[in-house]
Amino acid sequence: MREFLLGNEACVRGAIHAGCRFYAGYPITPSTEIAEAMARELPKAGGTFIQMEDEIASISACIGASWTGLKVMSATSGPGFSLMQEGIGYAAMTETPIVIVNCMRGGPSTGQPTKPAQGDVIQAKHGSHGDYEIIALSPSSVQEMLDLTVEAFNLAEQYRTPVILLADGEIAHMREPVTINEGMHILQRKMAKPGIIKEVWKPEDDGIVPFPVFGRGHRVYISGTTSDIYGYPSTIKPEVHAAVVRRICDKIRKNAQKIWKYEVFKPEARKIIFAYGLPARTAFAVAKGNTDVGVFRPITLWPFPDGPFADTVRGREVYVLEMNYGKMIAEVERVAYKAGAKKVEFLPKLGGEIHSIEEVEKFVGVG
């Protein structure tokens, strides 16, 4: 089935299709259409929509709802995403599946509410304190707003972790034809067996702990405090804290190759443009018109796709496009120079403007 949808509308369609049945959020440009569409459509699917007083309450409500066994989502933009950071850390520590959509706009602070940007990509990985890992996906089309929302729910359920959809504001507000595939794979939560569980936080061979649920006979102690496998707080034993941190990090790190999604166009080209989200559209337009130019587009921003990117840029020139003043460029340089890239150049774009084909061709040296 084909429909002509706004990016934020496509996100909602994907979320409901993936089984989302609880949404808590606070309206903020440019994500507000997600809340509006959820308020209309989620009750029709038997779900619950709540407008909270702020983003702190929103993510807290989502965490609580997830522990009742529901798939949950919230959406926001930069200032609200900042408010959610403590909750994201809590969700990582308690291994709570939750999907967060951040429709990025220019910052810092209130910044440019109606203009797109890509300034929150480092905050997505390092915004909360302590050691943890996160999964973050970057759509570059309205179709991917739908598809990657479904993927975000699947990943959240598979790895018991917060998953962030990082969409710049232009993708959120763009209208494009979208194919809705009713046969998309939907992953269900890995549930603990009914009855009382003694070792409630003991992982299985894949490093993932089966999910106990309130009201199903599971006696579960849930806290952001370091806890042992029985669920009891244990803050003074180094070995207990080390085991918890290693587990919540390694379940992402050791499965990175399974999580990575990326797109490579003309890997044989001697000049490779690294771009994600909206700038990737310009990068592909340039590469299609020039034989010397290829593109590496990370769809998974976190964990960063080190291996595939290194293989693509070895011995080549790398040109980076971002709608910020330098975020992913540090990751690009780390991997590219270690892989033997000839050079790395950076073209930032600020003020809510989009890279034009002409300026990118000049930047890459083919215009």
Q: Domain segments of the chain: what residues? A: 2-179, 263-364
Measured between alpha carbons, how far is residue 336 from residues 120, 147, 304, 339, 341 in Å?
Answer: 22, 29, 12, 5, 5
| Residues whose CB is less than 8 angstroms from the CB of residue 234 and which lie 6 or more positions away in sequence, other chains included | 226, 227, 228, 240, 241
Assigned CATH for 2-179 = 3.40.50.970
Query: Domain spanning 263-364 has what CATH number?
Result: 3.40.50.920
Length reported for the chain: 367
pLDDT tens for 176-198 read: 999 988 889 999 998 888 777 78
Residue 182: its pLDDT value, please?
Answer: 84
The runs of H, that is alpha helices, within the chain are 7-18, 32-41, 55-66, 78-83, 85-93, 121-126, 142-159, 169-173, 238-253, 256-259, 278-288, 306-313, 329-339, 357-364
- The model's pLDDT over 60-100, given as tens digits with 9 standing for 90+, comes to 999 999 999 999 999 999 999 999 999 999 999 999 999 99
State the pLDDT at residue 219: 75
Mean pLDDT by 10 residues, the chain (367 residues): 95 98 98 98 98 98 95 98 98 97 97 96 97 98 98 98 97 96 90 80 87 75 90 93 96 97 98 98 97 98 98 98 98 98 98 96 93
Q: pTM above 0.95?
A: yes
User: In 3D, which of 139, 152, 184, 145 has the Cα closest to residue 1?
Assistant: 184
Closest CA relative to residue 25, chosen from 47, 48, 53: 53
Q: What pLDDT score does 217 carry?
A: 67
Q: Give the Cα separation of 76 and 37 in Å (integer).
A: 14
CA distances to 190, 208, 221, 304 from 204, in Å: 11, 6, 19, 25
From CA 129, how far away is CA 325, in angstroms rounded? Answer: 23
Do domains 2-179 and 263-364 share one topology? The answer is yes
Cα gap 264→35, rounded to integer Å: 34
